């Protein structure tokens, strides 16, 4: 492990702020422990409010230069970062697993997602298209163009400690923005490792060095500085709904823009005609994968009454075969929860399920035999009603609610009857069910799938959700537009000065 940390430039004690070079920080010392066995990985000295100001000011200076570099040349820098990530994929993927606890194949998959994002952003750097419109005035041309925005903020959550940064950073980078990253203070080492990888690329290119900046600290210190900084025009924030509300309120005070990627309460509908084997695989990965710690994790299964018992039995059987333990071991399917606080949330939810009338049919236990660390839990299945308060909220743990439905109308009604709106899916071979679910009568989520699960989105689409999930979109499609400012231009190439809407304003 020491060798791996060294290869990624992680020291025993690390500075917590970067703006082209590492600043000597002296904020609160963070001890980063692995959720696998509670072992100490390294320490980080958090950034202080003063460090943040230095970083922001450097990011702003760099913006003035970076925005003048043509977008395809900016893309070239991202291309090189993508190559460097390929070189470091194994090490970085393993560090994701060590620091956050997801199984190794998912840790590696997360780095692959960064590489895919880099490739996507390189192509995008030759596009960033604006439209040309027809002017109502003779001899006029009207079009729109997209300009870089400024030094923006990126707040990321612990569960995708590096991929979420790349969704934002590579797109913002080709758009001409510089950025300040505030990662979760549970996962600062992967952020330091990524910054070291980026630093190598910056060093060998003639570009400003403070494009991809970093400040490590808690939400209440560095986070609050970032969201209250009137000079930061946009903050992309990934995390809980509660955090998103706070970010939105702070930004609205200075008309800052927000991209909010918040909690989900994702459901799979399984209709009477569904291929149950397919549905089973999707629900298992969706609910148990990443130990239920994905924003797109499956939290609810809305099962048609005719297949309810059969599906519940099959699911229980599948849950029994899930291997739980060290996520670095390739035979393991489920690693630990990220922290003791997460285990507490899991236990509190179990109590509430019972209090509110639910029935736990599998799991519901913390696995003490995995001490030290006691962060391993049994994935849990409970029979519940959609309107239980506990079902209405996101518990960031592997707890799945089975809910009975009678028909497609009730399925859609219950599906949408939660405050969040991120990811959704239906399993059916009935074209009318599928089309209804995808129509405006159907799922109210940002992501809606047929015959695949809620979890594991591809980067080519715009990712994000509605309602309390925050409304933001990141990654593919035209999500890049949020990182730029749109300018409408009208040019008069004639000899008259006609006004729009036929308005006359002549002196004679």
Rounded Cα–Cα distance for residues 415 and 309 (Å): 20
User: Facing residues of 179 across strands?
Assistant: 152, 212
- Closer to ligand NAD by CB, 5 or 462: give it: 462
Binding to ligand NAD by CB under 6 A, coded x per residue (else -) over 249-278, reads ------------xxxx--------------
Options 191, 227, 382, 445; binder of ligand NAD; rule CB under 6 A:
227
The answer to whether residues 339 and 186 touch, using CB atoms and an 8 Å cutoff, is: yes
**153: contact with ligand NAD by CB under 6 A:** no
Size of the site for ligand NAD (CB under 6 A): 31
Stretch that binds ligand NAD, among 94-102, 155-163, 369-377, 409-417 (CB under 6 A): 155-163
**247: contact with ligand NAD by CB under 6 A:** yes
**394: contact with ligand NAD by CB under 6 A:** yes
**457: contact with ligand NAD by CB under 6 A:** no
**84: contact with ligand NAD by CB under 6 A:** no
**193: contact with ligand NAD by CB under 6 A:** no
* DSSP helix/strand/coil, 376: coil
Q: What is the 3-state secondary structure (H, E, C) of 404-437?
A: EECCHHHHHHHHHCCCEECEEEEECCCHHHHHHH
Percentages of the chain per state (helix, strand, coil), in multiples of 5: 40, 20, 40
- Closer to ligand NAD by CB, 240 or 492: give it: 240
Helix axes 89-100, 71-87, angle to 10 degrees: 70
**106: contact with ligand NAD by CB under 6 A:** no
**219: contact with ligand NAD by CB under 6 A:** yes
- Closer to ligand NAD by CB, 115 or 157: give it: 157
Stretch that binds ligand NAD, among 77-85, 204-212, 234-242, 310-318 (CB under 6 A): 234-242
- CB burial class (10 A; 0-12, 13-18, 19+) of residue 60? middle
Tokens 């749109």 correspond to 486
- Of the candidates 451, 426, 422, the one whose C-alpha atom is nearest the C-alpha of residue 437 is 426
Options 18, 160, 362, 401; binder of ligand NAD; rule CB under 6 A:
160
Residue 387 CA: distances (Å) to CA of 105, 205, 390, 413, 486: 36, 56, 8, 12, 42
Helix axes 308-320, 276-288, angle to 10 degrees: 50
- Closer to ligand NAD by CB, 240 or 451: give it: 240
**240: contact with ligand NAD by CB under 6 A:** yes
Residue 191 CA: distances (Å) to CA of 166, 333, 399: 11, 25, 29
- Closer to ligand NAD by CB, 58 or 261: give it: 261
Instruction: Pick out residues in 413-432 that bind ligand NAD (CB under 6 A).
Output: 422
Q: Does residue 458 carry a catalytic annotation?
A: no
The answer to whether residues 40 and 31 touch, using CB atoms and an 8 Å cutoff, is: yes
Least distance in angstroms from the C-beta of 396 to ligand NAD: 5
Instruction: Check 99, 110, 113, 261 and give the catalytic one.
Output: 261
**211: contact with ligand NAD by CB under 6 A:** no
Tokens 């949408």 correspond to 416
Options 248, 396, 427, 483; binder of ligand NAD; rule CB under 6 A:
396
Look up residue 480 and give its DSSP letter: G
- Of the candidates 364, 387, 389, the one whose C-alpha atom is nearest the C-alpha of residue 377 is 364
Neighbour tally for 324: CB within 10 Å: 19
- Closer to ligand NAD by CB, 215 or 386: give it: 215
Rounded Cα–Cα distance for residues 177 and 171 (Å): 9
Instruction: Pick out residues in 286-325 that bind ligand NAD (CB under 6 A).
Output: 295
Q: Does residue 261 carry a catalytic annotation?
A: yes
Q: Return left, alpha or beta for 255; rule: phi > 0 is left, psi -120 to 50 is alpha, else beta.
A: left
Instruction: Check 295, 394, 445, 468 and give the catalytic one.
Output: 295
- Closer to ligand NAD by CB, 173 or 239: give it: 239
The answer to whether residues 71 and 123 touch, using CB atoms and an 8 Å cutoff, is: no
Stretch that binds ligand NAD, among 49-57, 74-82, 239-247, 298-306 (CB under 6 A): 239-247
**189: contact with ligand NAD by CB under 6 A:** no
The answer to whether residues 359 and 367 touch, using CB atoms and an 8 Å cutoff, is: no
Least distance in angstroms from the C-beta of 183 to ligand NAD: 6
Tokens 């509430």 correspond to 352
- Closer to ligand NAD by CB, 96 or 434: give it: 96
**224: contact with ligand NAD by CB under 6 A:** yes
Rounded Cα–Cα distance for residues 112 and 166 (Å): 11
Catalytic (active-site) positions: 261, 295
Under the rule (CB under 6 A), what is the footprint of ligand NAD?
A: 155-160, 182-185, 218-220, 223-224, 227, 238-240, 243, 246-247, 261-264, 295, 394, 396, 422, 469
């Amino acid at each position: 492990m020491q060798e791996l940390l060294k290869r990624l430039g992680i020291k025993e004690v690390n500075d917590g702020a970067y703006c082209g070079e590492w600043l000597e920080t002296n904020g609160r010392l963070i001890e980063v422990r692995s959720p696998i066995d509670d072992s100490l990985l390294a320490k980080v000295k958090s950034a202080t409010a003063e460090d943040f100001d230095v970083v922001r000011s450097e990011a702003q200076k760099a913006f003035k230069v970076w925005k003048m570099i043509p977008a395809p040349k900016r893309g070239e820098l991202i291309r090189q970062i993508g190559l460097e990530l390929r070189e470091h994929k194994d090490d970085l993927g393993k560090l994701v697993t060590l620091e956050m606890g997801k199984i190794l194949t998912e840790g590696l998959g997360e780095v692959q997602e960064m590489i895919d994002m880099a490739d996507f952003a390189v192509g995008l750097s030759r596009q960033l298209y604006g439209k040309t419109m027809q002017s109502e005035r003779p001899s006029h041309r009207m079009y729109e163009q997209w300009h870089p925005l400024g030094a923006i903020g990126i707040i990321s959550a612990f569960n995708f400690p590096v991929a979420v940064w790349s969704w934002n950073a590579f797109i913002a980078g080709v758009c001409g923005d510089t950025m300040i990253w505030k990662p979760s203070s549970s996962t600062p080492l992967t952020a330091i490792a990524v910054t070291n990888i980026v630093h190598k690329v910056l060093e060998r290119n003639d570009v400003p060095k403070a494009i991809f900046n970093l400040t490590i600290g808690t939400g209440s210190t560095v986070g609050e500085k970032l969201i209250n900084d009137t000079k930061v025009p946009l903050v992309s924030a990934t995390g809980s709904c509660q955090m998103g509300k706070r970010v939105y309120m702070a930004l609205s005070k200075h008309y800052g823009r927000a991209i909010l990627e918040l909690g989900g309460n994702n459901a799979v509908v399984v209709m009477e005609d569904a291929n149950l084997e397919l549905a089973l695989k999707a629900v298992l990965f969706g609910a148990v994968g990443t130990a239920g710690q994905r924003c797109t994790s499956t939290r609810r299964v809305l099962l048609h009454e005719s297949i309810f018992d059969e599906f519940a039995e099959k699911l229980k059987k599948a849950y029994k075969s899930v291997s739980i333990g060290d996520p670095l071991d390739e035979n393991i399917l489920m690693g630990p929860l990220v922290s003791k606080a997460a285990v507490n949330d899991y236990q509190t939810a179990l109590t509430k399920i019972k209090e509110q009338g639910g029935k736990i049919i599998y799991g519901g236990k913390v696995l003490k035999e995995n001490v030290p660390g006691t962060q391993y839990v049994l994935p849990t299945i409970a029979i519940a009603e959609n309107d239980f308060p506990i079902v209405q909220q996101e518990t960031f743990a592997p707890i799945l609610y089975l809910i009975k439905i009678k028909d497609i109308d009730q399925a859609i009604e219950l599906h949408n009857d939660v405050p969040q709106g991120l990811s959704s899916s239906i399993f059916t071979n009935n074209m009318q069910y599928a089309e209804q679910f995808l129509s405006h009568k159907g799922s109210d989520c940002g992501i809606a799938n047929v015959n695949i699960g809620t979890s594991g989105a591809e980067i080519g689409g715009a990712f994000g959700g509605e309602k309390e999930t925050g409304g933001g979109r990141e990654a593919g499609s035209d999500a890049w537009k949020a990182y730029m400012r749109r300018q409408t231009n009208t040019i008069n190439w004639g000899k008259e000065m006609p006004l729009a809407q036929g308005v006359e304003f002549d002196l004679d």
